[in-house]
A and B are shown apart, each in its own frame.
Chain A
Amino acid sequence: MNRLTRRSFLRRTCCTAAAGVAASSFQKLGLVSAYAQGTDYKALVCVFLFGGNDANNMIVPYGNSDYQNYASIRGGLALPQNSLLPIQPKSLSVPYSLHPQFTGLQSLFDQGRLAAVVNTGTLVQPTTRDQYLQGQVPVPGNLFSHADQQQQMQTCALNTFADAGWGGKVADKIESIYGSSFPVLISLAGINVFAEGLVARPIEANGDPTQQLRGFSGSSDDNARLAALQSLLTFGTGLSLVQAASSTTSNALADAKTLADALAQGSGLHTQFPQTDLGAQLREVALIIQVRAALGLPRQIFFVATGGYDTHSYQLNQHDYLYADLNASMSAFYNATVELGIPQQVMTFTLSDFSRTMLPDSTSGTDHAWGSHHLVLGDSVLGSDFYGKWPTLALNGPDDATSEGRWIPTTSLDQYGATLAQWFGVPPGDLESIFPNLVNFQNQTLGFTTG
């Protein structure tokens, strides 16, 4: 009972096996020359904001009456109008604004490199307030719960358990096209289901992903000890969890070495990143992208994350701090892609558990809600615009799931993910196998990318 499944053995050996077939599938698809010239490279970078980002204060209506409506509901959490950073979405006639900390992102929006995908979240199918309140349509399980909504945002599996994420499934598809000698997906925020493929195995690190074993001098008894350590990792004990632990450690030993060797060929970056956890993760991503040729990867997916967004109390101060970091880190990362000469080939996007109630709570914070606004950044983004439908900001209004301003998403996570996946190279016919609810929506993709 309870043995490791065939799949897990498959995925743990896939990289060596896939490397063999890689060359032939390349040739069949005519991809070899572009890849060999280094022109065929794309990276997707997911920035996950753990805790549930209150997007109601990330993007704020700026027109006078719209702002007044916002301010009257937000009360003590309303940002002063004269502190906001105005932006004008191209396809809309009314003005909006960004949080005062988003100075760099405001410029990127103005330059057409940043877009917002608004009121987007987990949806089985298009859902109205009446349908939700009367239980007429299926909705995602355990709404408003952190763990469940994080899981759903990372897997698109809304009512079933899934141990593979949509990032990992995109990696599966990419590996089936390009092959892979090294994991396509790297998480620098530890283990997250987003990164797990059905076949593809991610690298999941926190802190330094090139950390190696200490204490081996090269002496004969140290060599014997190292050989024993490696040998012990190969023993089947009949205990499933021992095998699982050995797989992780074996992969770690190999990955750290490969990554360290590749990074040693990098020339470093001039771009300055903020001295924050998120800044450090994005800097590491840029350094890895710099040595993409050494790793031999035409496609890479990265997962980075930051926490603290669960702002149940005293939200204004916390948001200043969180958004200052997000703005500086994302801006720096964009600058690094310019320095690397590939701003068109890297697309950065945000995800979060959910947004938060429009109505403040009694401790100057907000509670768990649903549909949220997300940011997409890169030179392949059709920027300066909003995608999706802005919600009606009214308590008990047509978009409110309850009476505290929990917006029912008007665009689905599946559409958002599918747009990114298609840009990345997943054939349109394969999108539904990764995004299971896509079939329930009229437009499968949102059109916020070029190419």
Chain B
Amino acid sequence: MMTRTLTFRESINEAIRLEMRRDPTVILIGEDVAGGAGLPHLEAAGGSEWGGALGVTVGLAKEFGRKRVLDTPISESAIMGAAVGAAITGLRPIAELMFVDFFGVCMDQIYNQGGKFRYMFGGKVQVPVVIRATIGAGLRAAAQHSGCHYSVFTHMPGLKTVVPSTPYDAKGLLISAIRDPDPIIFFEHKLLYGISGEVPEGDYTIPLGIADIKRKGKDLTVVAIGRMVHFALEAADKLFKDGMDLEVIDLRTLSPLDSKTVLQSIKKTHRLVVIDEDNPRCSMACDIIALICTKAFDDLDAPPRMVTGPHTPVPFSPPMEDYYIPSVDKIISTVKSMIS
């Protein structure tokens, strides 16, 4: 298969486009996913090229029409509930939650409805919905537009959670997510949209629930999520020059979790650091450390550590926000304190 360089943003757009071409029941709904709905000068030109607040869905309305690319009012409960209602009656909706922080106004439809239907109805219904949500600090977007919060959704049975870190993974995981019969929250880090990488043309899938070892190593295992995978790799490169050989595992899917890959790595390296941009309490970082402490305690040569955001909302002012985000330096000093 031919590959070429795409941005993370373009690879997500391509995944949606290919699935919408392949399956007429795939639709896209959300605030401004096309842009300028109903304005005569835009409708006449076949729709706006705005394509969402961060430009991810640009061009889809033009190709698939307003019937399948639906701009909504700012009604997040109605958007999420409509996606769930459509999913149980024959469509495969992709619904956009512009910023994950907005889950506060629509969690009932995501969790009590979408997440619980299959269980409550005794397994008689499938809820093939994908909710795309942007995450992450670093854009000076302040406390209500910068959280990660994937741990909140991962905590909830019935939902699956996916956090890609590269353009290649983003496309393959999103295609899998759209074809999956269960409700999935697909988290896109805003600061990854601009990164580039090799992406094959055409469709390919990356199975959910399989972590990816982004760097093989023998001295210490770093488990990372989303943007933090890149920080972990940067730290690993620097530490390699100092004689420390790190293994970097990108979880990719948080629910279901690929416990096996993490456990196997610890049996080899005997040391664990988890890098998680999310808040630390009841987090993925805690979860991975609990997994290793309960299932591989005897394999450990040092207490596991985590490098996470603090237990605060994301601050606005640059010095404070920079302090909030786990840094490469902090990863390096944490690793060094464990290998001496």
Q: A and B from one assembly?
A: no
A contacts, CB < 8 Å to B: none
Interface residues of chain B, those whose CB is within 8 Å of chain A, are none
